[in-house]
Amino acid sequence: MKKAAISIAVTFGVAFFLFFPWKIEHYEDGGTVTYSSLTYKICVWNSLSGKRDISEIYYFPENFKNLTELNDMETLDEKEEAHVMAEDSDGYYALCRLIVATYGYVEEEDCFVSDSGPRLHNLIFDGDTEELPVIRWSEDFSLIIPHEVELGSITVLNEKGEKVLGLDSESSDGKYFSELPAGTYYVAVEIDRKGDYIEARDEYTYSVEQYAFCLKK
């Protein structure tokens, strides 16, 4: 009986030692908090430039990675599935994706190569806007920016391709579009998407993308 009690006490002691979150850290990225034990780490994400209001658990051995490494654990395929969208009370709208710049790694030559593609104003000048989705303005219109990407800017062009409004990364709720007079506009939401980390060069691949649509008021 005594031996069984000792065995139970040891088991509980080891379990407590392995699973109790001994280390709690608060980060100045907007309020992210981590709770770390020897077997797992819980991240309560609240980053101003990334994940917000999301709790995730990482098990051994990922629990020994730092916050940056955990944030970069998503694969490139997962990141490519995250797209900017628009929404209003009628539903969600897929936007036209334009790859305007890429910075990729060529393993055979051990070098980075950059490339560029057309932007929204190029499509307007060329009269090639048929593929753009047309969205009717409403007061509850807003843009959905995935946490996997970083919003750079939002540019509003008129039918001649001239810039009539430039918005920063704090304007994705769509309220600033209400300042536009009635008419037809073309909108480009530009984002930066981080790709693979190339350890040998200590550098990331990335792409710059525009999500474009036609807005009618």
- 11: helix, coil or strand? helix
DSSP state of 132: S
Q: Across the chain, where does the E strand assignment appear?
A: 23-26, 33-36, 40-46, 52-59, 85-88, 91-94, 96-106, 111-116, 134-136, 142-144, 150-157, 163-167, 184-198, 203-216
Q: Where among 19, 44, 73 does a domain terminate?
A: 73
Q: Let me know whether 122 and 156 are in one domain.
A: yes
Q: Let me know whether 94 and 49 are in one domain.
A: no
Q: What are the pLDDT digits (tens) for 176-211? A: 778 888 999 999 999 999 888 888 888 899 999 999
- Quick one: pLDDT band at residue 77, thresholds 50, 70, 90? very low
Residue 50 has pLDDT above 60, yes or no: no
Other CB atoms closer than 10 Å to residue 96's CB: what's the count?
16
- Quick one: pLDDT band at residue 16, thresholds 50, 70, 90? low
Q: Let me know whether 59 and 90 are in one domain.
A: no
Q: Let me know whether 100 and 205 are in one domain.
A: yes
Q: What are the pLDDT digits (tens) for 87-144? A: 888 888 899 999 999 998 888 888 889 999 999 999 999 988 988 999 998 888 888 8
Q: Let me know whether 105 and 187 are in one domain.
A: yes
Q: Let me know whether 96 and 148 are in one domain.
A: yes
Q: Spell out the alpha helix ranges (H) of 38-75.
A: 67-71
For the chain, how many residues are written? Answer: 217
30-46 burial: b if 16+ Cβ within 10 Å, else e: eebebbbbeebbbbebb
Q: Let me know whether 156 and 84 are in one domain.
A: yes
Q: Let me know whether 90 and 157 are in one domain.
A: yes
DSSP state of 89: T
Residue 130 sits in which domain range? 78-216
C-alpha closest to that of 211 among 183, 194, 191: 191
Q: Let me know whether 104 and 186 are in one domain.
A: yes
Q: Let me know whether 46 and 145 are in one domain.
A: no
C-alpha closest to that of 151 among 76, 45, 50: 50
Structurally, how many domains does the chain consist of? 2
Predicted TM-score of the model (pTM): 0.61
